[in-house]
Amino acid sequence: MFDRKIRISILGNTGVGKTTLIDRMKGTEVRILRSKKTYDIDIEQKKIRLQSSNSFPWYHPEAYRKYQILAIDNPGEIKFRRQWREVLRTFNTDGMLFLLDPQQSIDSTRLVMEDAYNYFLDSIDLKPDKADEKAEFKKYIFHFVVNKCDTYLSIPFEGKSFQLTPEVKDHAVEFLSQFASTIEIYKETFPLSNIGISYISALYSPYSEIDKLFEILKVYLYET
Ligand SMILES: Nc1nc2c(ncn2[C@@H]2O[C@H](COP(=O)(O)OP(=O)(O)OP(=O)(O)O)[C@@H](O)[C@H]2O)c(=O)[nH]1
Ligand SMILES: [Mg+2]
């Protein structure tokens, strides 16, 4: 009876690490490098007890609460990307995690970010002016996640637990700053939405960092 739902669409270009992030969320061992692209929509679910619940006293419901995360893994490959519109329309998610890979080009990253914007508007209404009108009142979470932050380290990271050093974070912030104008368009079109940013390594960040992503979504959905 304490369970709550968080429904999230995972979007981003091919190879940015969407499936890897979902595998981590599910607790699957992903250190074995996968090279399989996603070709179809996958709905993944897991009930998790967020780590923040430890900080609540025993008599508080939050100490026992579980979150049913429903994550929709989408293919990033251009040929299949048009499916995003259908997914966004059908599953009525609370928000999207948009993943970026700093190893990919600025131009292609921006294009995919624009695709996500357009497909999301289409999913609201296929008539552009109607979609714009509805977008003004739409509450939604747009969370931009710079993934693969471990690739900023000078030697390839092979340890167990990746920590975001200030230097690595500076690089990631600089990378994301190239998309400030695109993110600004999201903000203008969806003034009631919540826009956030995270920096992770889906492969090597400790689970607590992965958990934090869902923590942020939880706070927005249930505590604001
Ligand atoms: N170094 C590093 N590699 C990563 C990280 N996350 C994912 N990868 C690697 O990036 C490659 C692509 O990851 P996927 O999770 O399959 O990417 P995807 O976004 O699901 O790609 P599509 O399904 O084609 O859209 C795999 O070889 C992963 O092991 C990360 O944080 N760091
Ligand atoms: Mg995938």
Q: Where along the chain do its domains lie?
A: 4-222
Cα–Cα dist 4/215, whole Å? 12
- Write out residues in the chain with pLDDT < 70, as ranges: 1, 29-35
Cα–Cα dist 157/168, whole Å? 12
pLDDT score at 34: 60
pLDDT score at 219: 93
CATH topology of domain 4-222: Rossmann fold (3.40.50)
pLDDT score at 32: 59
Residue type at 47?
K
Q: Which two tokens stand for residue 121?
A: 């508007």
Ligand 1 contact via 32 beta carbon (within 6 Å): no
Ligand 1 contact via 203 beta carbon (within 6 Å): yes
pLDDT score at 6: 96
CA 75 – ligand 2 centroid, Å: 6
pLDDT score at 155: 83
pTM higher than 0.85, yes or no?
A: yes
Protein residue with least CA distance to atom 13, ligand 1: 17
CA 10 – ligand 2 centroid, Å: 9
Ligand 1 contact via 202 beta carbon (within 6 Å): yes
Ligand 1 contact via 31 beta carbon (within 6 Å): no
Cα–Cα dist 114/45, whole Å? 27
Ligand 1 contact via 7 beta carbon (within 6 Å): no
CA 44 – ligand 2 centroid, Å: 12
